Amino acid sequence: MKCKICNRETEDKGFCPLHLRAYRNIVEKYAGWQRALNIDWTEYLVQIQKNSLTGEWAKDVAKDIITGESIDVRKNEETY
């Protein structure tokens, strides 16, 4: 299996280790953003793409989630 974003070889969730780490960061930080800004998941992802502090990896992942099927993956990870 290959990373959906950069085509590196991967075994997990469709992301390579670097993008998977960015993905987990995104999921982890969402709770705080949601409390502070009262925004929904999609809006949060849009903000990540706009925010210059989030870094290229996170932006790639945010973009992929918005355009792709990764929202379903996130639901599976909510117990994580």
CB of 28 to Zn ion, least distance (A): 18
CB of 4 to Zn ion, least distance (A): 7
CB of 7 to Zn ion, least distance (A): 7
Residues near Zn ion (CB under 5 A) are: 3, 5-6, 16, 19
Nearer to Zn ion, 1 or 37 (CB): 1
Inter-residue contact 61 to 26 (CB < 8 Å): yes
- Ordered alpha helix ranges (H), the chain: 17-37, 41-50, 55-67, 70-76
Residue 10: what residue type?
T
Nearer to Zn ion, 13 or 19 (CB): 19
Burial class, 44, CB count within 10 angstroms (exposed 0-12 / middle 13-18 / buried 19+): middle
Nearer to Zn ion, 5 or 65 (CB): 5
